């Protein structure tokens, strides 16, 4: 059974850091593009970052602050979030899409992905 499980969320102050984890079972992560998304109350789900066969990419809003990595031995993807801001507050989800993608696959589009985790809450507040 394909499953993604996020963890690592919490309540932090502005400027703090968090590391989110996305553990996969039922499939091998390195055969998939993995995306991180977030959804704040009243807002649409937005792409934060992704790893695919063309590398790692970040939304402008998190570039320079967030780093995505993958540990194939643990079948886990991480999102290191530094210099957190109140506007980073959201439920964070990881999602998976089987590679290879097509030349026009938009990995920042949530509709691209086949599998989703349940999400983990990140709250940045003083």
33 pLDDT above the threshold of 90: yes
Instruction: Write down the mean pLDDT value for the chain.
Output: 95
Torsion of CA 109, 85, 61, 8, to 10 degrees: -40
> Which residue, chain included where needed, has tokens 């009243």?
42
Q: Is 30 exposed, middle or buried (0-12, 13-18, 19+ CB in 10 A)?
A: middle
97 pLDDT above the threshold of 90: yes
Name the 3-class secondary structure at 116.
strand
Share of the chain above pLDDT 90, in %: 90
* pLDDT at site 104: 85
Q: Are 120 and 6 in contact (CB under 8 A)?
A: yes
| 35-92 confidence digits (pLDDT tens) | 999 999 999 999 999 999 889 999 999 999 999 999 999 999 999 999 999 999 999 9
| 78-89 confidence digits (pLDDT tens) | 999 999 999 999
| CA 103 to mean position of chain CA atoms | 22
């Amino acid at each position: 059974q394909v499953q993604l499980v996020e963890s690592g969320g919490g309540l932090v102050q502005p400027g703090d850091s968090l590391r989110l984890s996305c553990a996969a079972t039922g499939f091998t992560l390195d055969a998939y593009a993995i995306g991180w998304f977030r959804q704040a109350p009243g807002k649409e789900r937005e792409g934060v970052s992704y790893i695919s066969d063309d590398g790692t990419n970040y939304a402008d809003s998190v570039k320079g602050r967030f780093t995505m990595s993958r540990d194939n031995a643990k079948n886990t993807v991480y999102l290191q979030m530094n210099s957190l801001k109140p506007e980073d507050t959201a439920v964070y989800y990881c999602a998976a899409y089987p590679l290879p993608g097509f030349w026009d696959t938009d990995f920042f589009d949530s509709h691209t992905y086949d599998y989703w985790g349940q999400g983990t809450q990140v709250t940045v507040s003083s």
